[in-house]
Amino acid sequence: MLFSLFYELLFDLSLFFSLPKVLFEMVRSGKYRRSFLKRLGFFQKVEKKGEGPLIWVHAVSVGETLSVAKLCKKLKEKEPSATLVVSNVTETGYDTGKRAMPFVDYHLFLPFDSYFSVFSLLRNLSIDLLILSETDFWYRFLKEAKKRGARTLLVSGKISEKSLKRFLTFSFFTKKLLACVDRFFVQNALYKERFLQLPIESEKVEVTGNLKLDIDLPVFSSDFKEELGFKKDDRIITIGSSHDPEEQVILEKLRPLLEKDPSIKLLFVPRHPERFEEVFSMMEKSGFGVRRYSGKSENPFQIYVGDVLGKLLHFYKIASVAIVAGSFIERVGGHNILEPIFLGIPTCCGPYMHTQAELLEIAQNHNAISQTNENDLLECVEKLLDQKSAPSSLQAELSCVLDTTLEKVVASLESPQGQKTA
């Protein structure tokens, strides 16, 4: 009881002191406008539909949401009478979930972890199964779900060295938090070893694989390149999931390539939609012609801004070379490099891939990725432009493992062996 009150006080204080930044971002870029009040506990409601179980799947943002999409589909197929809820923290994750999983009964924003916000949403609700993706633990939410009868599972679990040190430092809190999770299905042996350093019974932790490796490729239009305004012979370098200041850095490093060969085009796909306008304005000042997905223009261009959600794989598909961004900034630590590789696109990434270490290792083992720093980026891209395609055996080899892994996860979800916590 005292612990819960102390946690509530700390969380409410941190939320209060973050309000100025949140309000500033709402005014400046529109960020949080759709999610903030809902995360406070307003304008969201869940009701169980029919006699089937209520299954709640939580994924933080875009990558985690896409990784659990197939799992959610399998669950819905096996339990058609189930009420399926998917929650997200970010607005981009929420939008991605709605596009990727139209069969879900409720798409929600996860409430802030205060008593009022959580209780407002979970009030009078019975949860049969709560599935967390990768690493997002919230004490109040987990505790209230357990009170309502939920079996709680972590799928595709991972934990960084930094998070491990933080959990070990605050071991008293960690014990209470992780006691709310019945089973930990983790990505690999390294993450299992790290989780077992925490106060978790060894039988609760099992390696089942990384759901992010199972990529559902969309149906691609054969005319997509021309539809965007590119010429048939244009060689496109797609820079996916970029963050500030990567666009400016990559543009300046590749500028000599653009100046030398007008048939080479840069296609930037910013990670966050609130930066679409910022990136387009930045490119307009570059000295090159610029077009954007959302605009109508017939002007000649060498730079294109993909200011749309849900088209990243399509932008990778038309590329001669893919640069997976988020990897030239240490605070981000990389994004999913297997997406362009699975499409057969020669791919490179930056030096910071610590949040995607397993994906990097897999790609490196198949000689399917070129890792470089910003100073050597030009040379790396020039070499990849001469490469016809990426190794094609990777997806087929992984899919056998992934099918088995997914079956095991789904079976575990249907017949959990976890024990309830008080």
Question: What CATH number does residue 322 fall under?
Answer: 3.40.50.2000
DSSP output for 7-48 = HHHHHHHHHHHHHHHHHHHHHHT-TTTTTHHHHHT-S-----
Query: Quick one: pLDDT at residue 415?
Result: 59
Answer whether 67's CB lies under 8 Å from 140's CB: no
Q: Chain centroid to CA 36: how far?
A: 20
Q: What is the pLDDT of residues 331-340, one digit of tens each?
A: 999 999 999 9
In a domain, 219, yes or no: no
**pTM for this one?**
0.78
245 prior amide bond cis, ω within 30? yes
In this structure, the answer to whether residues 110 and 197 fall within a common structural domain is yes
Give every residue of the chain whose pLDDT is below 50, as ranges.
416-422
Query: Quick one: pLDDT at residue 213?
Result: 79
Query: Quick one: pLDDT at residue 419?
Result: 43
In this structure, the answer to whether residues 282 and 172 fall within a common structural domain is no
Residue 44's domain spans which residues? 2-213+403-414
Q: At 103, which CATH number? A: 3.40.50.11720
Please indicate whether residue 144 is annotated as part of the active site: no
In this structure, the answer to whether residues 132 and 29 fall within a common structural domain is yes
Q: What is the pLDDT of residues 94-109, one digit of tens each?
A: 999 999 999 999 999 9
Catalytic residue among 47, 64, 201, 361: 64
In this structure, the answer to whether residues 19 and 143 fall within a common structural domain is yes
Nearest to 220 by CA among 331, 373, 336, 344: 344
Q: Token digits for 233?
A: 């012979």
In a domain, 419, yes or no: no
In a domain, 285, yes or no: yes
Query: Quick one: pLDDT at residue 323?
Result: 98
Domain count, the chain: 2
In this structure, the answer to whether residues 276 and 343 fall within a common structural domain is yes
In this structure, the answer to whether residues 195 and 162 fall within a common structural domain is yes
In this structure, the answer to whether residues 316 and 240 fall within a common structural domain is yes
Residues 6 or more apart from 410 whose CB is under 8 A from it? 71, 74, 75, 78
In this structure, the answer to whether residues 22 and 49 fall within a common structural domain is yes
In this structure, the answer to whether residues 71 and 195 fall within a common structural domain is yes
In a domain, 181, yes or no: yes
In this structure, the answer to whether residues 60 and 179 fall within a common structural domain is yes
What CA–CA distance (Å, rounded) separates 22 from 212?
Answer: 30
Taking the CB of residue 166, how many other CB atoms lie within 10 A of it? 13
